[in-house]
Chains A and B, each alone.
Chain A
């Protein structure tokens, strides 16, 4: 007797196409926008810091002291690491909160892979948005600060801030590179932070849908 016959017409559940998963993730982030932005708040701040450091280094150009540069890199790295831990924490809480919802999805036919995928896609979308905003705010604030201060008295080696970067550069080549660097890093770190929570979500049994205590 064939396996097919023995299983009485039961086939293997097929995975959803990517566009459906993206649609789900988009809807979820959109509806919980405020919440998503709080979760991604760490990325926003971390990337804003990174962007401001990048632009201030660009402004200082070759005039920046190597020790100062290394110190800034260290600070940025540390702040991004803190933001990864923060997102993991927020995502773990979100998984706990959505325990029954995920169980229900599984009762309706969702596969583990789908659950992982929507969490990861949500993370990338959130990380992307937060990074775009973080980059914008960080860059503009730093430019504004340098501008208002005029001659940066405390800038390394006493350079005039527009000494090594004119307005053309500012809106030209430099920020574009910094923009993509920040956005890809921000989205990537959010995805990294979400990996463990997403696996945990996928492991929720469908029977979780029956729980009345969460």
Chain B
């Protein structure tokens, strides 16, 4: 028996019995449990690099109802590298302007309009089911090209045991159970991670004592494509805060912060939801309720993301409140951080300790995300009389005074973290811009023909700017791709110069497969590059 816990928006991987059901357990190099955004992104990235992956999901497709709606620039950049970015941009709603209200009055508005020279906008709004579908569609394209990815729908993991050099898995299907073996198991099984429970691992943090009613409504309305956020909203029974935000297909996301002591069943009744939405949108507004749900939010993470041969990624490893849109966005960064490392380990090109750097770097990212979303939640839900007084003082001052606006926190929108000071970082021998320092993700820039990030495949890259780099093709069997720019020709808008050189006349960057900077120099010899690359492979201590 495999329980169905939710309805599907798209049936993408219908159940199929497998031929080997009654045979001895088959061994797979990598099994991913959970076909959410993180599991699918990991599968696509690993598969495209040539490492065979098997994805097990206990459902036959993507769940109905959009949880995530805001997808950030870094996520779109990763999706571009994986081949799914264009469809996300085409379908998604680009937005830049946000308005913050306190009661009936506007406190201020902000504009996220990114600086020029980026292929991707700061954010798009897109229903999570589309995001997941586009990834799965791209997996189908990849499969047709011979990329070794297999997806099994309605195959639920029910048990596991780590035995020496592999993990033994118990899988259940409508045709009964079978066994599998995996060299590596990636747990992308969501915030309630059954794998975490099977292994008896804890998931500690804070639960916010508050309930949020989410209503996605379909309507033809001429509200602008902006994010509208109310503190102490003026409409009847709308709770402590409210949000209105546009999605594709004429759907609008509405959130109401209802407080802790509520009668869930009552609040979820259609007439009660409609009363609230009517009050917000005004009498006579015509709309359909697409999807409604009540959530409580928490911020917590596992102490360790790697447990020997079992590696946790996405919501199973860390969970944040959604103010700031950091859940799926950070999970996709987990996926891309893990994919290149596990690929090299599976191929025997890097020691398995490289995977510890995954745990280290992404725990650093999770802490940053948890800190940000905890602060936003504390601003939204003041925990004492005094904190509420300060919160309201900020909102009152922000109406007239610019200085108070940066203190208003309705969610600091997701940006990728910099792996400052962590173990894979090589030398920073360039007096260059801080934003592209060692550990930082590469910043996009418009080139004479196209965009910089599109020139960086998922491999190590030596990027040389106005200088010759040593032509090393590989280090310890790991291939290096070279991108060499002549800025007088390739950088007509001086963007690469501003973002990568600053006052330096020329530079050599070593970039990781996930487009984070591994090392940079004015000039570097072959030995410098080899040494830095070995550090980035987790072999730093051996040299």
A and B found bound together: no
Q: Which residues of B contact A (CB under 8 A)?
A: none
